[in-house]
Amino acid sequence: MDFGDIKDIFFYPEEGEEGVPHDPDARFMKERIDEIPLMSPKGMFEELEKLGYRGQTVPRRAVTLMAYRHVKRLRRLYVEMEPREQVGKKNNLLLMGPTGSGKTFLIEQLFGKILKFPTVVVDVTPFSETGYVGQDPNNILTRLYHQADRDERLARIGIIALDEFDKLASIQNNAVFAGAGTTKDITGMGVQRELLKMLEASEVTVPVELTHSSYVETINVRTDDVAFLAVGAFSGFSSIVNRFSKGKVHGFATSRGDSRGHSFEDGAIAVTFEPEDVENIAYFQTYGFLPELIARFGGIVPFAALDLDTMRAILEDDVLSKTREEFAREGIELVIPDDVIDVIVRLALKRETGARGLSALIFRHLEEKAFELFGEKQGVTLRTYMEGENIRSVVE
């Protein structure tokens, strides 16, 4: 009895006459990966500069190199059709540093705007272990699916930034309660266990809509080629580094201490970690993370607290240019002299809010006059000036 060619029963990808896969999905992926610009790490670094990204030279090099390797890996898999076992696994990164230091902004600009990957930044604090109240961690992939125009093929090569990742090690959460009389895995360990599967190469059942209902259509998304970047400020991590460096963590250090670490000021928020401060997984275990979860990240990239020069450059090149444009659209010329700019930068540094606080600080001193002028007067000049230690403004 002739059962025919086994290829008629089981599909095996093969190429056409000119190296084009016969499988429509494989052909679609090949064309999509071909559209991703193959830029060098140095080229990405410079392109970020053009888009207004300032500072963070070392982290920017690390992330652009990871992005380049990610694109090359996808090209080997989907364009050159190399066997997966020869290509190797994906590389996830953990980005840690003070708030406002440019972690999520770097991901959005690089992967979303420059490389044009389906990219989502997801706050992980509302999530809880499957079966508990709160959002299911699989909804993280639902958001990526939506960002990928509801195409599961594109979702397979997306970028996920797990924002507020450090909160999974604390009892702080924003779980949305879906029922009464229920409890939540407040330690975040349940979510960590769920993420373990996701960060590895696995097939995840994903609801197509963000809902608490059990009756919702689902799809299967493989995460072999989804790159994850965990992002967090890791407040209090410096105190753990101090404890290890002084030998005060029983079972991990000798009484003589670990001489590689250096001490941080107690209570400091905008601290700058060195690579040796974040290379020991025991630090993260003490902080409240599963060691095997941290091990899923191929690199841990510390971001520095922004210095005065970088903050000033961000204020002048980005924040002030947009603020001046907004006032110009109202027919108002906005004049902010250098001494006022210096005060704004110093205030932001003192508050340890990084670049994120610049816009709020500058507009706080313009709010009263903006209320009076917007939609009322045109052809005037709003000039700011220093009166002692206070910032004032006058309409001319």
Q: What is the DSSP string of 156-170?
A: TT-EEEEETGGGGGS
279-288, 292-301, 324-333, 352-361: the lowest-pLDDT one:
352-361
Per-domain residue ranges for the chain? 36-232, 308-395
CATH class of 36-232: alpha beta
Grade residue 68 by pLDDT with cuts at 50, 70 and 90.
Answer: very high
Q: Which of 187, 208, 188, 83 is nearest to 141 (CA)?
A: 208
Q: Which of 206, 281, 212 is nearest to 240 (CA)?
A: 281
- C-alpha span between 170 and 378 (Å, rounded): 51
pTM of the model: 0.78
- Which helix (H) or strand (E) element contains residue 102? none
The more confident residue out of 368 and 356 is: 368
Checking if the pLDDT of 261 tops 60, the result is no
Tracing tokens 């797990």 back to the chain, one arrives at 162
Q: Which of 281, 386, 394, 285 is nearest to 333 (CA)?
A: 394
Q: Which of 340, 308, 297, 358 is nearest to 91 (CA)?
A: 297
Q: What is the pLDDT of residues 90-129, one digit of tens each?
A: 889 999 988 888 899 999 999 999 999 999 999 988 876 5
CATH fold label, 308-395: Helicase, Ruva Protein; domain 3 (1.10.8)
3-class DSSP string for 259-322: CCCCCCCCCCCCCCCCHHHHCCHHHHHHHCCCHHHHCCCCEEEECCCCCHHHHHHHHHHHHHHH
Are 179 and 190 contacting, i.e. CB atoms less than 8 angstroms apart? no
Rounded to 5 degrees, what angle do the CA atoms 63, 66, 69 make?
150
Are 153 and 25 contacting, i.e. CB atoms less than 8 angstroms apart? yes
Are 228 and 199 contacting, i.e. CB atoms less than 8 angstroms apart? yes
Mean pLDDT of all residues in 208-228? 81
How much is the pLDDT for 47? Answer: 94
SS3 at position 216: coil
Checking if the pLDDT of 28 tops 50, the result is yes
Mean pLDDT of all residues in 17-39? 78
- C-alpha span between 268 and 247 (Å, rounded): 21
Checking if the pLDDT of 74 tops 90, the result is yes
SS3 at position 229: strand
Dihedral sign from CA coordinates of 139, 141, 145, 146: positive
Mean pLDDT of all residues in 238-251? 68
Cβ count near 130 (within 10 Å): 14
Q: Which of 118, 134, 114, 117 is nearest to 126 (CA)?
A: 134
Are 252 and 118 contacting, i.e. CB atoms less than 8 angstroms apart? no
Q: What is the pLDDT of residues 154-208, one digit of tens each?
A: 999 999 999 999 988 854 444 443 443 334 444 567 788 888 888 887 788 888 8
